[in-house]
Structure formats: structure tokens, C-alpha cells
Amino acid sequence: MDNEVKNGSEIKETEVINDSVEEVLGKKKKTSIKPIFTGLIVILIVVIIGIVSIASNMFGVKEVSVASVNSESITQLALDSFYTQQEAAYQAQGLDINDPEQLKAAKQQALDNLINQTLLLQAATADGIIITDEDVQSEYDRTVSQFESDEALQTALIENNLTIELLKNNILTQLTIQGYLATRVDENVTVTEEEIQALYDQYVAGGSNIPALEEVKTQLGDQIKQQKLDSQVGAIIEALKDTAEIELYLE
């Protein structure tokens, strides 16, 4: 893979790894069967650590570091903000946040996701990935166009503890990570009939009320393809961790 500078126009064809990015950043609700592309709006709720840090300095809040990644600090404030925005996703995964042990697990998952995000952003910077203001605006326009009204957009922002400015910054993070992964992930993965049959049999054996194989064959194939892409992304992150200096301070 080459490391030449990429811009937004060059990465428009990388949407196939979108779900993998969401999985890495903890924004993806785990479901049993679904197509890779549902066409539904996804609120980008990745916390921008720098913005949180700037805000804490403005209000004189002492920053407590919970981790560092290659000497880049992740603060308690950043983690708390990230967790608040991800709470619904963790509950959708079956975590009971009223249970102290499961709440601790959810917060650890949030920290893991922030570490993954930091590693990927650092790697993207080292690779010279560039996202322009025009790229961000274009994706922002596409995102908000999927809401029926401005009121619906504002409601979604409030529900996700977002502002327009944060949303645009989150889009920048999303596109940057996508741009980096597009240079590392091989999207030409194949799915065999045997793999589809095996997954179908797995659902049947698990008691799922699943339609006939021919009716869900495409969805099953998409799911297997996404799993293979996710596996590639996981391997990329593990490789980054192997050469990174990561320190954890969270008890």
C-alpha cells in the first residue's frame, strides 16, 4: 500500500468500510442480520478529544489523564463525554448500566474505543491523510439531508449531546479514519456459498425465526463480508498497538 497524501475525493469509494469504522469507535449497534448498507442516518458521535481538552482549559477544569497513547493524553473529561454519548449503544449491546460491574465494563469499553481512535488518527496523520473543509461540508450536507426537518435534526443532536460544530468535527474524524483504513483494508473479500450456508445453519440451530435461505442470502453474504472487513481492521489496530506506547491510569 502506498502512503501518498489522500484527499476526500479519492476516498469516496471507501464507504464499504464505514461499518468497520463504526465498530472500532463503538458506535455500531450489534445486530443479528442486516445488510451492510441500510441507508439509515447514523449520528456521528465520536468525541473529539482536543475539543474537550480546550473546553476544560477555558473553564479552569484540572485535567486528569486516564491513559496516554504515544504520549498523547486521554483525559477523564474526554472519557466521560465519550461514554455519555455512547451509553445508548452499550445498552443496545445488552449491558445493564445500573449494574456496577457492567457499568465498569462499559466505561472500559469506552476507553478502549478512545484508544483505538487515537491510534488510528495518529497513524492517519503519519500517513499524510488530508480531509478538506469541502469534504467535511459535503458529508455534513449529506447527513443532515436525511432528516425530515431542522427540528428533527436538532432533536437528534440534543439526544446525542451534540452541537453542529461537534458534529462537523466528528465527521472530520470519521473521514480521516476512513481515509487511512482505505489504504490498508483489502475490500475485495470473497464470500463462498459454503460460508453463507454455515451462517444460515447457525441461525437455524440457534432457534432464530429466519426466512428461507434464498430470501436472506444477500444479507447473510453482506454480514460475512463485513465480518471479514472488521477482522482486517482489528488486525490493523493490533499492529498499531504492538508498536505503540500505551499507558493506562484508570482504576
Half-sphere exposure in the Cβ direction for 82 (13 Å, CA): 32
Beta strands in the chain (DSSP E): 65-69, 72-75, 246-248
Classify burial at 120, counting beta carbons within 10 Å of its beta carbon; exposed 0-12, middle 13-18, buried 19 or more.
buried
On whether the CB atoms of residues 81 and 114 are closer than 8 A, the answer is no
What does the pLDDT average to over 133-151?
Answer: 94
Is pLDDT of 27 > 80? no
Is pLDDT of 192 > 60? yes
What 8-state DSSP symbol labels residue 6? B
**What's the confidence (pLDDT) of residue 53?**
35
Query: Does residue 123 or residue 3 have the better pLDDT?
Result: 123
pLDDT digits (tens, 9 = 90+) for 155-190: 988 887 788 998 898 899 999 999 999 999 998 999
Q: What is the dihedral of CA 33, 18, 108, 162, to 10 degrees?
A: -110
* Residues ≥6 apart with Cβ < 8 Å to 1: 183, 184
Which range, of 35-44, 109-118, 156-165, averages the lowest pLDDT? 35-44
**What's the confidence (pLDDT) of residue 24?**
58
Q: Which residue matches cell numbers 450456508?
A: 197
**What's the confidence (pLDDT) of residue 16?**
47
At 34, is the secondary structure helix, strand, or coil? coil
CA distances from 100 to 47, 82, 97, 103, 251 (A): 24, 18, 7, 5, 14
Q: What is the pTM of this model?
A: 0.74
Count of C-beta atoms within a 10 Å radius of residue 185: 22
Q: For residue 25, what pLDDT band results from cuts at 50, 70 and 90? A: low
On whether the CB atoms of residues 86 and 113 are closer than 8 A, the answer is yes
Is pLDDT of 52 > 60? no
